[in-house]
Amino acid sequence: MKLKTDLYTVYGDLLLEKDTEVSAAVVRKIRQKGEKHKQVRVALKNTDIFADFQKVFDDKRYINMFKGPVSKSEICNIAGKLRMENDLIFELSYMKNNLPYTYDHVLIVTAFSIKLALTFRPEDYDMEVVSHCGFTHDIGKTRIFIGILNKTSKLTREERSVIETHPVIGYLLLNYYLKSDRRDCTLANLEHHERLDGSGYPNRIKRIHKYTQLISPIDVMDALMTRRSYRTKAFSLRAALDYLIKQADMNRFDKNTILTLISFARKDKPDIRKMYISEEPREALPEELTHDKYR
């Protein structure tokens, strides 16, 4: 994949020029540049980002989903312990000021990713990695022309191809900021629009990292349930979950992950092995959202 525009750090330093073909050699070069840049890690609980994170539990769309069996305090305790690179704190602050929808979105994705990991087998996940992956998975969106992200009409093929560069951009930025550290986080960034059947982007792979599989369904759910410039109607929780279960039936998402999200949405929080799923559709999805064509 070629870059559609010059790529800069959050400080305005040029990393790669437009039309650069992204390759393994280019990624190594990015890491080497990063090695020359001193990095400081900050406890997230000491930042404004953490204060904003604590507010997502008051989002009316998800009030019931955030009720037990995993508590708000457990989720916040994990997120607050994350020591995040200072450069990425600045990136998230930039996102908050310039792409507030995306900023709120990454906070929600992080909270649900932590809850999913704690609900599954916590010993299988490094909770600091889960938190980091959630907060940083959409960093690449900050380098996409805002006129494309906020376009009210259908995207052209070229505009769609620009948007589909954002996982690669995020991957490059994280390789610069993280160097050779936290490789799980760089992969989660690159893969968060990939699907288990190979229908995703940018690389159409089928083997997807376990941390990515926590993030991807929540990424879709929140996109469906949020009003956007091109879609003034937000979908109900039931409609969004209907969509996800159909995607799981098409082998695009891990079905147990989707069933767990459905269990979160139910008052009695049933065991997914005994849960009944109605096949009756709630709402029809607009063309803009078919095949994950959302922004």
In a domain, 2, yes or no: no
- Note down the domain range covering 271: 7-292
In a domain, 218, yes or no: yes
- With vertex at residue 220, the alpha carbon angle to CA 259 and CA 206, rounded to the nearest 5 degrees, is 80
| Tally of helices (H runs) and strands (E runs) in the chain | 13, 4
In a domain, 31, yes or no: yes
Question: Does the predicted model carry a pTM greater than 0.85?
Answer: yes
In a domain, 257, yes or no: yes
pLDDT in tens, 43-90: 999 999 999 999 999 999 999 999 988 999 999 999 999 999 999 999
Please report, for residues 38, 83, 123, 229, the alpha-carbon distance to residue 295 in angstroms, rounded to integers and kept in the order given: 33, 29, 33, 10
In a domain, 173, yes or no: yes
pLDDT in tens, 149-197: 888 888 888 999 999 999 999 999 999 999 888 899 999 999 999 999 9
Task: Give the count of domains, the chain.
Answer: 1
In a domain, 212, yes or no: yes
In a domain, 77, yes or no: yes
In a domain, 1, yes or no: no
- The CATH number that applies at residue 235 is 1.10.3210.10
Are 15 and 176 within 8 A, CB to CB?
A: yes
